[in-house]
Amino acid sequence: MHCWYYNILFLKYKILFICLMMENKTHMNKQICIVAIFSLLAGCIQVIKPSAVEVDESFTKFLRGTVYIESSGYKLRLCGTGKIVELLDPNKKLIPHIYLNDEIIPSVYLEFDASAVLRLDWQVSKVYFSSQKPHNCGAKIEKVDFLVNAVDHHWQAKINARDVAIYKKNIYTQLAFVSDINKPDQWKGQIVLPHGISYNMDLQLKEKPCVDEFEQWYSLSAMLKLNGETLKGCARTGAGIQSFISGKYSNTLSPDDAFIVLNLDADKSASLVLDYRNGQPMLVNKGDWKMLDNQVIAVNLSALQSQLQDSVLLFQVYDSQELRLKGFSEILGKVGLKLLPINE
């Protein structure tokens, strides 16, 4: 303890002793002594009082992970590392995502900006996306300025600066636009495809929360006009995710079609099973697969006979689960062949 503290303590007791010895003195003198003692005590308390903890925002970072409540506080399990950290929410940004319909949600996946603060962990700044669907953390991160999903998940748009890529269920190719205007919340453009069909696009975003058919929450709403058709969507900023998962995919059979099963395994191995339903044994081609840009999957298959060449099949991914064949394939035939996931 500092020497000034002992000096104040000694002086305090010295005055107290003098005051007690002043039994024959006037009441006024005793009052003066008491005032002097309390003045010294107040001064001592003021000097040794600890300084208040200052919250100092050092930097902001985009985070994604699972948020849950434990011991009356928020915990965040970070995607990728699985590390668990404290999460502060003084501005109550998490309440709409944790408390729904007067019930506490056990855990929720969030994408949000957070500030690292002095002596603390992370503090929520702005939420972009929340979902109760499983496996969001396992999905691959994809860097985009904005990711837009249709409310009914029938179309999707990815925006990077002035580039807009649109995927729509009834269009068998990606529509790649370059915006004619330079606005932070609107994009307009026109393209003509090789076979002569033209498309006009006008896409706008608004700072208005949006919920899709899977009850996923987005921080932005979107309105897309494509060749006069008006479509509604939900959008989020930050780093979007490619949520395509490996598994088995097959075609919808018609009387003249072969039965097709495409196996895309998590270890990137692939196999294609073909049954032409003509009484002959099934054909099985093996190889590997990988995800290319713009959600295109390349499947490399080894030839069944040494004199034949290996084959490469390209599939466009729609709605993170539907595969459509790009171009013509000698193995699979028709353009636009659709493969859907098999739920086992």
- The yes-or-no verdict on residue 268 having pLDDT over 50 is yes
Residue with the two structure tokens 């056990």: 106
User: Which residues does 85 contact at the CB level (< 8 Å), separation at least 6?
Assistant: 75, 76, 78, 121, 122
The alpha carbon of 185 is separated from its chain's Cα centroid by a whole number of angstroms, namely 20
Alpha-carbon gap, residue 69 to 54, rounded angstroms: 25
Query: What amino acid occupies position 42?
Result: A
CATH no., domain 57-131: 2.40.50.140
Encoded tokens for 166: 């649109």
Work out the average pLDDT over 296-323: 76
Sorted by sequence, the CB contacts under 8 Å of residue 22 that are 6+ apart come out as 29, 30, 33
177 DSSP β-pair partners: 164
Strand locations in 38-106, DSSP E? Answer: 57-70, 73-78, 84-88, 99-100, 103-104
Residue 330 has pLDDT above 70, yes or no: yes
**Residue 11 pLDDT grade (very low, low, confident, very high; cuts 50, 70, 90):** very low
CATH number of 247-341: 2.40.128.640
Sorted by where each begins, the domain ranges of the chain are 3-48, 57-131, 140-242, 247-341
Q: What's the pLDDT at 6?
A: 39
Mean pLDDT of the chain: 78
